[in-house]
Amino acid sequence: MDFTHFDQNGNAVMVDVSDKQITEREAIAIGRIKVSKDCFNAVKEGTAKKGDVLLVARIAGIMGAKKTSELIPLCHILNLTKVSIDFHMFEDSFEIEAVCTVKVSGKTGVEMEAMTGVSVALLTIYDMCKAIDKTMEIGSIYLAEKTGGKSGYFNNRKEK
């Protein structure tokens, strides 16, 4: 398999999707942030000094997904039809999981938008909670699932 973002001379290029078919496409990315017990409880109970951490992180993640083409150099500008961010709290490990789902009717996929959305959501949690916990760790960010396009369905869900 060749890299698609380079021409025959090795120059970086934006992939030409002119001849691709418009299809319904969806991508789901997942990531986690590990926090201290005090931080976890502040987020869960809504007592963080900066306000409702998950509300702000959700909005930030949606905004991040919408701005992906401005952040990742060769990404196409897409007219997204859906962006959602959901959170799951894991009290046994003091982790917060973010799940970003992105949809589009288009000629190219939304994997990067989903990955960007989940990353920005987790970074926002970090930013809002750094006064409580400077030891937070963001990790395990991955593409969990995608549908549409030439390659069709892809499932990479991991059980934690």
Please give the DSSP secondary-structure letter assigned to residue 154: E
Distance set, CA 45 to CA 68, 98, 111 (Å) = 31, 17, 32
Residue 66 identity (one-letter amino acid) = K
User: What does DSSP say about strands 82-90 and 137-147: parallel, antiparallel, or unpaired?
Assistant: unpaired
Does the pLDDT value for residue 69 go beyond 60?
yes
Q: Are 53 and 43 in contact (CB under 8 A)?
A: yes
Instruction: Let me know if 127 is a catalytic residue.
Output: yes
Domain 23-148 CATH assignment equals 3.40.50.2030 = no
Q: How many CB atoms lie within 10 A of CB 42?
A: 21
**Pick from 122, 115, 117, 114: nearest CA to 97:** 122
Does the pLDDT value for residue 1 go beyond 60?
no
Q: Which residues pair with 25 in a beta bridge?
A: 104
pTM to 2 decimal places: 0.91
Beta-sheet strands, E only, within 48-136: 82-90, 95-106
What is the percent of the chain where pLDDT is above 90?
Answer: 78
Q: Residue 67 and residue 65: Cα distance in Å, rounded?
A: 5
Q: Residue 27 and residue 106: Cα distance in Å, rounded?
A: 13
**How would you class 77 by CB atoms within 10 Å of its CB: exposed for 0-12, middle for 13-18, buried for 19 or more?**
exposed
Q: How high is the pLDDT of residue 14?
A: 81
**Pick from 102, 109, 114: nearest CA to 149:** 109
Q: How high is the pLDDT of residue 3?
A: 63
pLDDT (average), residues 39-64: 96
How many residues in the chain?
A: 160
From 2, 7, 16, 127, active-site residue: 127
What does pLDDT average to over the chain? 93
